[in-house]
Amino acid sequence: MNKKLKGKRAVITGASRGIGKGIAKLFALNGADIGLIARNSENLKKASDEISEINSSVVFAKNCDITSLDQIQSAFNSIRDKFGNIDILVNSAAILKKASMMEISPSLLRSIIETNFFGAFNCSRMAFDLMKEYGGTIINISSLSGVFGVPKFPDMGAYNISKYALWGLTEILALEWAKFGIRVNAVSPGGVDTDMFKTAFPGAKAPLTAMDVAKVCLFLASDDSSAITGENIIVRGL
């Protein structure tokens, strides 16, 4: 097997389940040393154990609520101590809570924006300090819900807004950090077969698996995409 990420160090947020866990597994299979960040310590331990069994990659897990800047700083300080610089950051952590814009409480709206946007923003800024000397790549897991012109589902306005913001962040960071050799791209999948999707759309069949998304992220994390930055890759499924 051609290990596309051999010698690379990758940090994945939201890595204890769903898309983040799938990305971490595929990256480990491709030779990367993996830093896992997630809020749920029990699920994080399970994911770490599973990924450690895949190959000889180093796996480092850090419990962290990415809505807390103090916890993010602590996590990335630990990552610096473990890996030194890093090559890849995948911002996969996200929450989805449904409510109409007339009914949503300010606290719920704030929690969605804090996780889905500010969490990615703050993790990216911490990762910048570990990438700026040698370059790197940041991948933001957005959503088809955050793509303009695509039909939207009712009661998902807050989630959609957070993903619009994440796409804007991707463009701006790609522009500002290009001079440091840091590429920034987004991946916007349609429905993915995860617990989040099943909770939001009971009984619906998702067109994508976590591994479908992970394969796109592997391309963006590898040297195969060295000329690509500031893009939003839409993955609809069949």
> Phi then psi for 4, rounded to 5 degrees?
-70, -20
CA distance 172 to 141: 16
159 annotated active-site: yes
For residue 169, CA distances in Å to 118, 121, 133, 173 come to 10, 7, 21, 6
Amino acid of residue 26: L
The residues near 164 (Cβ < 8 Å, ≥ 6 apart) are 146, 148
159, 167, 177, 197: the catalytic one is 159
Half-sphere exposure in the Cβ direction for 182 (13 Å, CA)? 26
Active site residues: 159
